[in-house]
Structure 1
Amino acid sequence: GEPWWNGEAVWWLMAQSESRLVDFSFLGQWNAAPVFNLWTYAFIAYEFSFAVFIGNRLARPLLLAIGFPLWLSLIPITGLTSFALIMLVANAAFVPAAWWRSVASPCCSRKTAAA
């Protein structure tokens, strides 16, 4: 909608009181509008970039690294923990299986006993 295009969406999400986990309304007293605008446009740029560049092997790690803090930032400002975690899992689907195996191998490897 309109708040996303004019840069006010993050402030709008922070200012609502229905579902947020942390009350950020005090930030309205400061001149933080440029920060909220940047944060809003970061979401828009990320979502467009993700759709276009996720297939690029060079851009994929950068997109996934940017997505992690971006999606986590939704939790305190919206209270939509489930949505943010689902988006993180969806992003994790683009991580190569070899990487997941390398991460899991130290804790999950079993040594076979010589018979």
Structure 2
Amino acid sequence: MSRVTEDELKKALSTTVIEKKDAKKRWVERMLKSAKSYHKICPYFDKRLGNCFLRQLSEKKGRCEREGKFDGCPVFMGFLEGTYDKLVSEGKNLPIDFMDLSLHIY
């Protein structure tokens, strides 16, 4: 019988943690790519007032600093990451397309 050293054990455990984060990152990137195929500007951006609906949920004045560009937007990415965490904790299936995301949230 071979014994597992502490270093090997730590390496194996750290690998599984990275895989979980990697799955989350892959899903967020897939949703971002899907959203780009449907929307030229952020779907949560109000063109008339220039506000971000996602930012308005946390702040009173939710002015969009990126003028509706959601590629790399920290607010939009945070929303997707929060949605991923919520769906995984509830044990629901993850949506494959951005348009399916609204069906799973509400």
Question: One fold, TM greater than 0.5?
Answer: no
Give TM-score, length-normalised by structure 2: 0.29
Question: Which structure has more helix as a fraction of its residues?
Answer: 1
What TM-score, normalized by structure 1, do the two folds share?
0.27
